[in-house]
Amino acid sequence: MGSFFVDLLSFDHEVAVYDIDPKKLRFMYNTERFTSLDEVDAFNPEFVINAVSLKYTIQVFDQLLPHIHKDCILSDISSVKTGFKEYYEQSRHRYVSTHPMFGPTFANLGQLSNENAIIINEGDYMGRVFFRDLYQRLGIHLQELSFAEHDETMSYSLSIPFVSTFVFAAVMKHQDTPGTTFKRHMKIARGVLSEDDTLLREILFNPHTKPQVENIRSQLKELIAIIDTRDEQAMNAYLTKIRRNIDN
């Protein structure tokens, strides 16, 4: 996603990208490429988008703060926001936090009109305007949430599909003649499991994820009970319930 933002912004803004690994900068074009924080001092950015994985986000901010001026706006695109509000406020920098709900695994980065993004409604007003304008130019559907609301929403919209995929992959056996539904689930599983392990941990270690996983376990327990008793009426009622959930 860091590369995506570099490419997107470099045509209208003066952009630089910093990484300690020069190999990751080989295919960055129309941008300045830095491997030293001294170069950040000279560039003197007005806006920083921190696109590293959650595990290192605050660490990278700590490294950057001595090298940027006090009016520079800090921003992140992390999938979990726990602790970020407190960090931003103690940093005494203007800040804006967003979450583009798409990535290179499934999204067509050239056509994003069916994708979503979240802008945190706390922080710097002009920072929010910057991302709102950027996402709207791409046709992305926007929602504004607080930090707490964001993490609660992610525990549902990301952790449930991820855990369901993990369960499918855990019990999966090779099929010589897979059906259409199996092949579709397989495609989803390969996509999810091709994600970086750090991202998967971010989603699963969200403090709000555990209740969602417990809910999955509860639903499986109910389904197993219906299967054990071969209760047709209960099965019909269960199917009606879950179809209603999908229709809503």
DSSP per-residue string spanning 6-32: HHHHTTTS--EEE-S-GGGGTT--SSE
pLDDT at 227 over 90: yes
Query: Considering only CA atoms, which of 171, 168, 199 is closest in space to residue 186?
Result: 168
The H or E element that residue 118 is part of is: strand 116-120
pLDDT at 236 over 70: yes
Task: Look over the chain and give the mean of its residue pLDDT values, rounded to a whole number.
Answer: 90
pLDDT of residue 54: 83
Instruction: Give CA–CA dist 208/192, Å, rounded.
Output: 20
Which of the given ranges, 16-25, 115-124, 185-194, has the highest pLDDT on average?
115-124
Query: Considering only CA atoms, which of 15, 20, 82 is closest in space to residue 49?
Result: 15
Other beta carbons within 10 Å of 151: 20
pLDDT tens, residue by residue, 157-183: 888 899 999 999 999 888 788 899 999
**Do 35 and 18 form a contact (C-beta atoms < 8 A)?**
yes
pLDDT tens, residue by residue, 66-119: 999 999 999 999 988 989 999 999 999 999 999 998 875 555 666 788 899 999
Q: Write the CA distances from 107 to 3, 55, 182, integer angstroms.
A: 15, 24, 21
Burial class of residue 15, CB neighbours in 10 A (0-12, 13-18, 19+): buried
Determine the average pLDDT of the residues in 206-232.
Answer: 93
Band (196; pLDDT cuts 50, 70, 90): confident
pLDDT of residue 119: 97
pLDDT of residue 133: 95
Q: Taking the model in full, what pTM does it have?
A: 0.77
Instruction: Give CA–CA dist 157/164, Å, rounded.
Output: 12
Query: Considering only CA atoms, which of 106, 111, 117, 102 is closest in space to residue 194?
Result: 106
Instruction: Give CA–CA dist 80/192, Å, rounded.
Output: 17
